[in-house]
Structure 1
Amino acid sequence: MHADSTRDQVLSLIVSDGPITAAVLAEELHLTAAGVRRHLSALEDDGLISDHERPVQADRGRGRPARSFVATAQGQHALTSDTASVAVEAVRFLRGTGSLEQFVEQQVGELEATIAPLIPEGASLEDRIGIVSDALGAKGYASSVRPGPGGYTLQLCQGHCPVQEIATEAPEWCDAETKVIARLLDVHVQRLSTLAGGAHVCTTTIPVAPAAPKEG
C-alpha cells in the first residue's frame, strides 16, 4: 500500500473515531505497531494530530495510560476540498444580499429530504440514530454513535464536516443541521460542540432514557 494512502487512512480514522490509540489504529487498519507509530509521528510533526487531553483522575492505577489522538483544525482542513475558499466567498456574498438564511435552509432541507425516507415508520429511537449516523457517514461526515455519560444519552459524533469552512463562516448552518437531526429523530437534541467552533468533533447529545430521579 502506498505510504501516502496509508497516512491518509490513519488521519481519516483519527478524524472519524478520535480520540483513538495507536493500538486501535493498528488493529483497524491492519498495520504493524511500528508502522502506525511512524505515521503518527509524521502527522504530529505536520501539526495534523495532537494528544487528546484526558480529565485528571484521582486514581490512575498502575502504569501510564496509552496516548490517544485527535485531529487538529489543520488536520481537519487537510481533508477539505480546495473549493472551500470559493464556497466561503459565496456565503459572504449571500449574507451581504440577505439571502443566506434561505440558502442554508434549502441546503439542510435537501439533506433532511435525503435521509428521512431511509427511516422506517415505527423505527425505535436507537434504530433511527443508527440510520441517521450511517446516512451522514455516506455524505462525508465521518459519523459515529457513542454512549453518553451515565447511560441516559447517546452521542452522535461527526469527525469530519464536508462544509466546515462554510459553517465556520456561517454558524447558522450548524443550528439548522441540529434542527434537522432533531426532526429526523423526533426528539429534542443538543449540540455540545462543533468542528466549526474549534472542537475536534461535532457532538450532538440525544436522550434515550429518562434520568434517574434525585434522592431527597
Structure 2
Amino acid sequence: MKYVGEAQETPTGAPQEELATGERSTRNRVARSILDHGPSTVADLAGRLGLTQAAVRRHLDALVSDDVVEPREQRVYGARTRGRPAKVFALTDCGRDAFDQSYDQLAADALRWIAEREGGEGALVAFARARMAAQAGAYREAVESAAPEKRAEALAKALSADGYAATARSAPVGEQLCQHHCPVAHVAEQFPQLCEAETEFFSQLLGTHVQRLATIAHGDGVCTTFIPKISHTPKNSKAPPVSTPSKTTDNASARTAGRNPA
C-alpha cells in the first residue's frame, strides 16, 4: 500500500470506480499530511488540505479501521486550558511502513561495511549463509513433512508465508520453483551472494542439484529455480541409490544465481 497522489475529491455524480479512486487519493493525502507534519487534529488536517472537518473525520475513520492511523490524546505543554484536550491522529507502524522507507539502503550500507571491515567476499558469503540458516527451520520442517513428489510445492508454500509469493510447477524432466516477489531484491542486485546462498540452501534442502535460471534482482520478472526430477528407488530394487550432489556441483550451481544461463 503506497500513500501517494494529490488528486482532489471526486465530484458528486462521478462513476463508482472514479469515486472510489478519488476517495483513496484523498485518504492518501490525509495520511501523507500526518507523515509530513506529525500527529494532527481534525482541524489541522482540514486547514492544510482544504477539506471540511466532516470529510476529514470520514477519511480518518477509514484509516483507523485499516490500522494506518490511530487516535491519541494531544500532549499539552504548560498550563492546561479548560475542556478536554483535542484528539490527534498519528501514523501507526503499519501506516509508516506503507510509505517509502530507506531500509534497502541501510541494508546495502551494512553489507558494504561488512565487506570492507570483516573480510570482503568471504564475509559476505558467510553472512548470506548465516541468514539462510536462521530461516531454515520452518522451510526444513515443511519440506521434510511432505511426500517426496510434493516437496517443491511445500517449499513454495513456506516461501509464500515469508512474502515470496512462490509457486511450483511441472517442467520437462523436473519442476520449476517460481518466486514472484523478492523482499530483498534491491539489495541482492548489489550483493548476489544473497541469491547464491539461497540457491545453495534450496539444493541442500531438496537433496539435489538445482539451477537458478532467473532472478528479480538481475532484472527478470520472476526468480526461477529448476529442480530436476529425483528418482526414488523402491526398497526391494537392486538399483544403486541416487548419489548426492558433489560439493563442486553445488558450488557451480550457486555461482549461477542471479544470472540467466548463456
Per-residue Cα deviation, 1:93-143 (whole angstroms, up to 9, x for no partner): 11112332221111011122331122335x433311111100111111111
SS at match of 1:162: coil
Tell me, yes or no, if the aligned pair for 2:213 and 2:224 is still in contact at 8 Å: yes
Q: Does residue 89 of the first structure (1) align with residue 87 of the second (2)?
A: no
Aligned mate of 2:195, from 160, 164, 174: 174
- Give the counterpart letter for 1:182 in structure 2: S
- Which residue does 1:68 correspond to in 2? none
Q: Does residue 103 of the first structure (1) align with residue 124 of the second (2)?
A: no
Tell me, yes or no, if the aligned pair for 1:189 and 1:207 is still in contact at 8 Å: yes
Per-residue Cα deviation, 1:31-88 (whole angstroms, up to 9, x for no partner): xxxxxxxxxxxxxxxxxxxxxxxxxxxxxxxxxxxxxxxxxxxxxxx99864111111
Residues of 2 paired with 1:193 and 1:3: CA distance?
39
Per-residue Cα deviation, 1:154-199 (whole angstroms, up to 9, x for no partner): 1000111111122111111111100111111111110001111111
CA RMSD in angstroms, aligned pairs only: 2.8
Tell me, yes or no, if the aligned pair for 1:152 and 1:207 is still in contact at 8 Å: yes
Q: 1:102 to 1:209 in 2, by over 3 A?
A: closer
Residues of 2 paired with 1:142 and 1:101: CA distance?
25
TM-score, structure 1 length as denominator?
0.55
Residues of 2 paired with 1:79 and 1:205: CA distance?
35
- Give the counterpart letter for 1:190 in structure 2: Q
Residues of 2 paired with 1:116 and 1:80: CA distance?
33
Q: 1:79 to 1:172 in 2, by over 3 A?
A: farther
Q: CA deviation at 1:4?
A: 6.1
Q: 1:199 to 1:97 in 2, by over 3 A?
A: same
Aligned residues between the structures? 135
SS at match of 1:206: strand
SS at match of 2:144: coil
- Give the counterpart letter for 2:217 in structure 1: A
Q: Does residue 130 of the first structure (1) align with residue 150 of the second (2)?
A: no
Q: Does residue 113 of the first structure (1) align with residue 134 of the second (2)?
A: no
Q: 1:3 to 1:118 in 2, by over 3 A?
A: farther
Per-residue Cα deviation, 1:1-26 (whole angstroms, up to 9, x for no partner): 99869xxxxxxxxxxxxxxxxxxxxx
Residues of 2 paired with 1:2 and 1:188: CA distance?
51
- 5+ long unaligned stretches in structure 1: 6-77, 211-216
Residues of 2 paired with 1:2 and 1:156: CA distance?
39
Q: 1:81 to 1:110 in 2, by over 3 A?
A: farther
Aligned mate of 2:216, from 195, 200, 206: 195
Residues of 2 paired with 1:2 and 1:203: CA distance?
38
